[in-house]
Amino acid sequence: MHDHRPILAHRVERTLRERVRPADSTTICPLTVTAYHVTDPGGPTGQGEPVSREQAMAASYEPFAIGSPWGPPWGTTWFHVTADIPAEKQNAQLELVIDLGWEDHSPGFQAEGLVLTASGEVVKAINPRNQWVPVPSGQESVEFYIEAAANPLLLGVPPFIPTDDGDKETASSEPLYRLARADLVEVNEEARQLAYDLEVARELSEHLPGDDPRGWQLLLACQEALDALDLADVPGTAQRAREALAPALAVPARPEAQRITAVAHAHIDSAWLWPLRETRRKVVRTIANVLRLLDDGKTLYFALPAAQHLAWLKEDDPVLFERAVAAMKEGLAGRPGIVPVGGMWVEPDAVLPGAEAMARQFIEGQKFFREHTGEICPEMWLPDSFGYSGALPQLAKLAGARWFLTQKISWNQVNRFPHHTLNWEGIDGTRIFTHFPPVDTYGAEVSSTQVRHAETNFQDMGRANVSLMPYGYGDGGGGPTRDMLERIDRFADLSGAAKLVHERPADFFARAEEDYPNPGVWAGELYLELHRGTFTSQADTKLGNRRNEHLLREAELWSAYAATVADFDYPYEELDQCWHTVLLNQFHDILPGTSIAWVHHEVVATHAKVTTILEDIISRAAQALVGEGEHTITLNSGPFDRPVGAGQVPALGGAAVEPAPAEQPDEAARGERVLDNGILRATVTAEGTVSSLVHVASEREVVPPGEHLGSLVLHEDFPNMWDAWDVDPFYRASAREITGGRITGQDATSIEVSYDFGESTATVTFSLPAGARSLGIDLDIDWHETEKFLKLRLPVDIHALDAAFETQFGHVRRTIHENTSWEAARFEVSTHRWVHVGEPGFGVALANSATYGLDVGREARAGGGTYTIIRPSILRAPRFPDPAADQGRHQRSFLLTPGADIPTAVETGYEANLPLRTVRGEHAPQRLLEVSGAVVEAVKLAEDRSGDLIVRLYEPHGARADVELRTERAYEASTCSLLEGELEDYELPEIVSQQHSHRLSLRPFQVATVRLKELQ
């Protein structure tokens, strides 16, 4: 037979596009449109901040013609649409079709609308791929309001073009859109269904192998359907065409076909190319769409992963919130509805948040879901984070989760991840059953292409036969559509394709575990070979996060201490509000620095407000602890005792000692200068770098021969794409060491060096106070570069093959050579407060105050051997999505500690981030509690407000530990979950409690939460 397959396929494609789809409805009449452009006093027309529905509906509306412009960037226009329905059409299937002037792509990234009845009831949302509005049967007229948001399409074609529209203060005031269509239409249901039939059959035939006869069968059936179709009367002959195609679509799937669970999803980015206030409206619009489908009797399970979004919905639309809660109870009962997943406050970055903050993501998320549904989420759901910390399996299990889902590792730049279903093993050895959807997206449209890709891409095929497909428009919201549901119906049991089923995520995971009882294991972090610039971009956002994470520790510690021993009311609400703000700002496009300027300006301001609140709480709690008096009291909120002068301040306590005042740099001196405190001896050259750093006790020289330490290095930074996200490997070839340093100040303990480069200036201060075991390196940079990458270069004479980098509740070891493609791909990595490199008997630790990205490499040493170079990443200057990212002044501090082992690195990490605090009072508090064998990460009062003390601790060194908690007061102690209750299916450490002494054993990197109930 002659091969006419391409001709037949093209016939189907064109007929579908130009005849069948346009015939799915017939226009009855255009709508009458009036408009109210929300305008701030004195501001551009239509660019005002959103107003309430009541205010909008009471406003004055003016006639608005189809084709007229509306909506400057970030503006809002309310449209009022009406029409009289002809008597003969009042019982027909009617809809409105609204086109706000979209491009035919990028739902959720451009204009969107929320449709309401004349009484203010939410109907649904509209966007480029979801333009319909239902009209109830039997009405004589229609009347709706549409709140239209003029969000600019910032990620356009081509993408990554710098724009000032990412901040309302700098955006254009010219309208972006023209109202393209507003019609009342009658639905031609058979023509619409024919379009779905043809679409699925044609696309599936294209993606089947050429030697599979099923593809021919489908395509020939499409030809028969088109032969039966009268192109001049598609609505009248569509049923005849469907009957011709029906037998081919009724052939059931093959017995061995894969089973794919379809889970509706929206993955609304809490902020990204839109501000937080717009996300709140996106949540309303998306939930409205989901509820519309459910109310229409559609079968779907919608995964809702962020408690913050529901909290916003509760504030912004209580009626819609109650409807959503009712739908969640349906979903949790196994009926079509909404299913809360993830159990976290937001979908955070999974690398950068601190240990306790990551725990609180689970605690606050699960607490909110349990409060409103009675249940917690059994899975961790993070499809779109830029890598995943090895601490997460343990934290998820401690929060009651059994499973983990992500998709982002499919974005790896070089190496293909070897599994889609696996057991992921964390740094402590905890394993969690994990699934990466092989469809390679968290926002599938359920096209034949995607269904086929999910089937053929499945890495574990043959061993496992079930996978999950999250479908629905995401990032900017919108969620599932009726088009997607129609395609799922056709793929339910169709020869040539995998079987698609509607199922809750928990049901999928239970089935997947049964299907694949012994999956492969991946141990350690899930490093993403992409988006490495997120460790550095938007430095002030990261600084605010690090500062407030540690202030929250202080505020909770001193408040719990004061509430326990003094007349002090524990500030539950204030602390909850601060935590919620910090957790929100850890969303995976906020903390990584990849949102528009508007977002980061707002985040920096809100972090500053949180800082003010926390400082006030700390001040009040500390005063309650020390009483009124004039003695100088030094408080230490860290987990280790700290020397001060001739005295010492106990961990988690205070002492009546006063820190020595910092000395100010004097006038500049010429030539080499030496800092020597008897522990370390540093020689600084006239050009401002350290030529020698000696650890006096061992007489070990830290600086390699011929090297110098402490220089600044500038790189070109123009990645192939994803500007704020990416650092590509070729950046290293452009390294340019900044020279021309000059000593501009010196005293007995510090030397100040100044630099001018490009449009920027920098001051580097080396300090070595009395008694210090670390060389302080403080940077003060006025940064005005563009598309540049600044690093601090610290070569140390250590021969190492790997290094230890702090992560949540422990550390991860990474090789620093490039033997394999996996190792070479880790050319830029993350750390929290410290990194350590060592050889047997001697190591060097570097602690930081607010830096996350760095690279650690190896160089050949003259005369043989190698040495190590640590290069913290200080600043970047990408132009998209914020063209002025990081411009301005930045301060960062480091502690370089020769002779350090891992325990020393842990201590200096806390020292760099928890400065001692001096207050005036009558007496010094001793210790609330004393802990040996583990590190205390948090001390707080219990969430149930019982007054019980909660102590979270962990083993930080990667070794087994016997731990003792000693308390002045008599307590009964027990271990509990992160949610401060019992835990099924996960073993908590046993604790032996004897009033003032409480003992337990921890495995390497194990986290333990201890509840202390005071004995009366």
Residue type at 76 in one-letter notation: T
* DSSP one-letter string for 462-530: TTB-EEEEEESB-BS--B--HHHHHHHHHTSS-TTSPEEEE--HHHHHHHHHHH-SS-EEEES-B--SS
Separation CA 493–CA 487 (nearest Å): 11
The structure tokens 């979903």 sit at 331
Q: Taking a C-beta distance cutoff of 8 angstroms, is the pair 1015, 995 a contact?
A: yes
Q: Taking a C-beta distance cutoff of 8 angstroms, is the pair 404, 393 a contact?
A: yes
Separation CA 856–CA 823 (nearest Å): 12
Q: How far is CA 680 from CA 112, 113, 896, in A?
A: 62, 65, 11
The structure tokens 């990032």 sit at 475
Is 384 noted as a catalytic residue in this protein?
yes
Q: How far is CA 1009 from CA 459, 729, 1012, in A?
A: 38, 41, 10
CB atoms within 10 A of CB 468: 27
The structure tokens 């920096």 sit at 604
Q: Taking a C-beta distance cutoff of 8 angstroms, is the pair 303, 382 a contact?
A: no
CA nearest to 725, candidates 529, 528, 527, 534: 534
Whether the upstream peptide bond of residue 881 has omega within 30° of 0, thus cis, is: yes
Q: Determine what percent of the chain falls in helix, strand and coil, rounding each to the nearest 5.
A: 30, 30, 40
* DSSP one-letter string for 46-111: T-PPP--HHHHHTS--EE--TT-EE--TTEEEEEEEEEEPPGGGTTS-EEEEEE-S--SS-TTSS-
Q: Phi and psi (nearest 5°) for 84? A: -90, 135
Taken in order 200, 202, 206, 210, is the CA torsion positive or negative? positive
Structure tokens at 265: 């999803």
Separation CA 600–CA 832 (nearest Å): 21
Q: Look at strands 141-150 and 75-84 and give their pairing.
A: antiparallel
* DSSP one-letter string for 266-330: --B-SSSSS-HHHHHHHHHHHHHHHHHHHHTT---EEEEEEHHHHHHHHHH-HHHHHHHHHHHHH
Q: Phi and psi (nearest 5°) for 324? A: -65, -40
Q: Phi and psi (nearest 5°) for 945? A: 60, 30
- Quick check: helix, strand or coil at residue 441? coil
Separation CA 667–CA 35 (nearest Å): 67
CB-based contacts of 952, cutoff 8 Å, min separation 6: 356, 359, 936, 937, 938, 939, 1007, 1008, 1009, 1010
Residue type at 173 in one-letter notation: S
Active-site choice (99, 269, 384, 723): 384
CB atoms within 10 A of CB 320: 18
Q: Taking a C-beta distance cutoff of 8 angstroms, is the pair 643, 771 a contact?
A: yes
CA dihedral 973, 977, 982, 988 (to 10 degrees): -70
Whether the upstream peptide bond of residue 158 has omega within 30° of 0, thus cis, is: yes
CA 290 to chain centre: 23
Residue 316, burial from CB neighbour count under 10 angstroms (0-12, 13-18, 19+): middle
**Catalytic residue ranges:** 384
